[in-house]
């Protein structure tokens, strides 16, 4: 088994809090509906982590050895309330955010999450359109909750599923959770109209690469878009090793040899997944057969058009999945800052953003900011 790196300190509490007041000193920024960072990347997508807890222990995310019963999860009072989240989301929307993804930890463990969705569904983008609201889940509670989520205004879901073989799946979630119940969750989401559904499969060489073809065959022609994610070096607890990354190019080669594929245009700028469609006998995209996606975060960095901000469970704003520090918006909100104050702070923070970790990965040492001293995926959200 791979040697694990066990963190000796809690990086959430070590989080640096850049002095927001200093950022404010120069000029006050208001919302214009467009906010670019130092590389011209717009703020478009907001990922909100609603809990740092999870009922799975996927070894690549929350390994059991670290996330045990003594792990210091955030106390309830530290979590942003639904009202605080909705207020912050509204201010982000003023800067041009169009899409909100709820994540975690396992977002369906957050009590009354439907109420938050109802509140977010009331927001309108700067063009007056409803927000695109989606949620990433491990699917364990989806069969029970799909209808209520849809009724609350959720439009789509992404379900994480790392294999169809029950033994492989139980081992990967490491809590002996049966694959059948996740498949039931996907079926319930489909029936409730939470589509198009995406399924995310993290591929780990030596662990589940033999599930790739079975997964592709299973979801082909169902309307579900299966996406293969390269195993990433997020956090500091999963003992990541480059030799356990299976490059997306190999995934494509494997599927193409069995079911011919053709590359499709990206559906939008900043799209994380490269799209591949199943080809018909004439070499055209067979729309009924559908498409797959590959997210090559390790082998083909897509930082150049990364338009995603992340709001942690306790209200810290992170500018990159691999950041080691966040900006404490909860402190502002609970300190009585006005909407204009918070809007200006967000404006200053994003306009100073230069993060592009994946593009720099090979040049960073563990001790440089953005090296391996990072917050966990379960805290910041995927
Ligand atoms: N619990 C939910 C779930 O699993 O869908 C939401 C949170 S989870 C952190 C979000 C996504 O991050 C999941 O699709 C998961 O597979 C992915 N993820 C977690 N750790 C990862 C890693 N080391 N490399 C690649 N993807 C990872
Ligand atoms: Fe939980 Fe999702 Fe992380 Fe797995 S990937 S441990 S389901 S938060
Ligand atoms: Fe975006 Fe950071 Fe990922 Fe690059 S490494 S794509 S900047 S989250």
CA dist 179 and 56 (Å) reads 12
- HSE-CB at 217 with a 13 A cutoff on CA atoms is 9
Is pLDDT larger for residue 268 or for residue 26?
A: 268
Ligand nearest to the CA of 270: 3
Position 335 in a domain: yes
Here the CATH number for the domain that contains residue 315 is 3.20.20.70
CA dist 155 and 128 (Å) reads 17
Mean pLDDT of 81-98: 98
Position 2 in a domain: no
Asked which of 12-16, 120-124, 246-250 is least confident by mean pLDDT, the reply is 12-16
For the entire predicted model, the pTM comes to 0.92
For position 22, what pLDDT does the model report? 56
Host domain of residue 255: 20-380
When the pLDDT of each residue in the chain is averaged and rounded to a whole number, the result is 91
CA dist 185 and 98 (Å) reads 27
pLDDT tens for residues 18-73? 555 555 556 899 999 999 999 999 999 999 999 999 999 999 999 999 999 999 99
Which atom of ligand 2 has the smallest separation from the CA of 105? Answer: 8
Q: What are phi and psi of 268, to 5 degrees?
A: -155, 160
Environment class of 53 (CB within 10 Å of its CB; exposed 0-12, middle 13-18, buried 19+): middle
Which atom of ligand 2 has the smallest separation from the CA of 136? Answer: 2
Q: Which of 48, 49, 61, 380 to mutate to test the pocket of ligand 1 (most atoms within 8 A of CB)?
A: 61
Element (H, E) at 348: helix 339-351
Task: Report residue 211 as tokens.
Answer: 């599930």
Position 178 in a domain: yes
Ligand nearest to the CA of 136: 1
Is pLDDT larger for residue 300 or for residue 189?
A: 189
For position 315, what pLDDT does the model report? 97
For position 360, what pLDDT does the model report? 87
Position 13 in a domain: no
Which residues contact residue 284 at a Cβ distance below 8 angstroms, ignoring those fewer than 6 apart? 262
Mean pLDDT of 374-379: 79
Which atom of ligand 3 has the smallest separation from the CA of 361? Answer: 5
- Name the residue with the closest Cα to ligand 1, atom 14: 160
Ligand nearest to the CA of 139: 1
What are the distances in angstroms from CA 49 to CA 2, 71, 103, 207? 29, 18, 5, 27
Instruction: Estimate the share of the chain in helix, then strand, then coil, as percent rounded to the nearest 5.
Output: 30, 15, 50
Model confidence at 374, pLDDT cuts 50, 70, 90, reads: confident
pLDDT tens for residues 149-161? 999 999 999 999 9
Position 246 in a domain: yes
**What is the DSSP secondary-structure string of 310-333?**
EE-TTSEEESSTT-S--EEHHHHH
Query: What is the largest distance, in Å, between two alpha-carbon atoms of the chain?
Result: 63
Position 143 in a domain: yes
For position 176, what pLDDT does the model report? 98
Ligand 3 pocket, residues with Cβ under 6 angstroms = 301-303, 306, 320-322, 355-358
For position 237, what pLDDT does the model report? 81
For position 359, what pLDDT does the model report? 86
Ligand 1 pocket, residues with Cβ under 6 angstroms = 54, 60-61, 103-104, 106, 136-138, 160, 200, 202, 229, 231-232, 234, 238, 377-378, 382
**What is the DSSP secondary-structure string of 181-207?**
HHHHHHHHHHHTT--S-EEEEEEBTTT
DSSP tag of 245: B
Mean pLDDT of 135-142: 98
- Name the residue with the closest Cα to ligand 2, atom 4: 58
Residue 93: closest CA among 46, 38, 29: 46
pLDDT tens for residues 204-233? 999 999 999 999 999 999 999 999 999 998
User: Does residue 70 contact residue 107 with C-beta atoms inside 8 Å?
Assistant: no
Task: Report residue 275 as tokens.
Answer: 């799209």
Q: How far apart are the first and last CA of the chain?
A: 25
For position 24, what pLDDT does the model report? 58
- Name the residue with the closest Cα to ligand 1, atom 20: 61
pLDDT tens for residues 319-369? 999 898 899 999 999 999 999 999 999 999 999 999 998 888 777 655 454
- Give residue for tokens 């007056």: 128
3-class SS at 44?
coil
3-class SS at 60?
coil
Position 7 in a domain: no
Q: Which of 306, 309, 369 to mutate to test the pocket of ligand 3 (most atoms within 8 A of CB)?
A: 306
Position 15 in a domain: no
C-alpha 203 to ligand 1 mean position (Å) = 11
DSSP tag of 294: E
CA dist 317 and 349 (Å) reads 9
Ligand 2 pocket, residues with Cβ under 6 angstroms = 54, 56-58, 61-62, 104-106, 138, 160, 378
Give how many domains the chain has, as a whole number. Answer: 1
CA dist 87 and 220 (Å) reads 40
Model confidence at 126, pLDDT cuts 50, 70, 90, reads: very high
Give percent above pLDDT 90 in the chain: 80
3-class SS at 231?
coil
């Amino acid at each position: 088994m791979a040697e694990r790196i066990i963190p000796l300190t809690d990086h959430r509490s070590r989080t640096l809090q850049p002095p927001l007041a200093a950022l404010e000193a120069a000029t006050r920024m208001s919302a214009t509906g467009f906010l670019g960072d130092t590389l011209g990347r717009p703020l478009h997508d907001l990922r909100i982590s609603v809990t740092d807890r999870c009922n799975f222990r996927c070894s690549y995310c929350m390994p059991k050895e670290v996330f045990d019963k003594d792990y210091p999860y955030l106390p309830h009072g530290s979590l942003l309330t639904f009202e605080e989240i909705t207020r912050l989301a509204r201010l982000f929307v003023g800067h041009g955010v169009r899409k909100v993804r709820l994540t975690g930890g396992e977002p369906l463990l957050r009590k009354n999450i439907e109420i938050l969705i109802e509140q977010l569904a009331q927001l309108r983008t700067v063009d007056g359109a409803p927000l695109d609201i989606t949620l990433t889940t491990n699917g364990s509670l989806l069969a029970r909750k799909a209808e209520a989520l849809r009724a609350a205004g959720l439009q789509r879901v992404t379900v994480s599923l790392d294999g169809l073989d029950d033994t492989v799946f139980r081992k990967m979630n490491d809590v002996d959770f049966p694959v059948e119940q996740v498949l039931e969750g996907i079926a319930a989401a489909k029936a409730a109209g939470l589509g198009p559904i995406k399924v995310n499969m993290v591929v780990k060489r030596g662990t589940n690469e033999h599930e790739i073809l079975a997964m592709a065959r299973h979801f082909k022609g169902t309307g579900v878009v299966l996406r293969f994610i390269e195993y990433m070096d997020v956090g500091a607890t999963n003992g990541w090793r480059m030799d356990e990354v299976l490059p997306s190019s190999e995934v494509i080669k494997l599927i193409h040899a069995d079911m011919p594929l053709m590359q499709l245009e990206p559906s939008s700028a900043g799209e994380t997944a490269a799209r591949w469609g199943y080809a018909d006998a004439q070499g055209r995209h067979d729309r009924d057969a559908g498409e797959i996606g590959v997210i090559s975060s390790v082998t083909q960095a897509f930082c150049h058009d990364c338009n995603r901000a992340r709001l942690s469970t306790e209200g810290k704003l992170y500018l990159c999945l691999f950041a080691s520090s966040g900006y404490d918006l909860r402190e502002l909100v609970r300190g009585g800052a006005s909407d204009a104050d918070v809007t200006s702070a967000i404006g200053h923070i994003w306009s100073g953003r230069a993060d592009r970790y994946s593009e720099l990965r090979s040049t960073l040492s563990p001790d440089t900011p953005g090296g391996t001293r990072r917050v966990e995926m379960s805290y910041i959200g995927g």
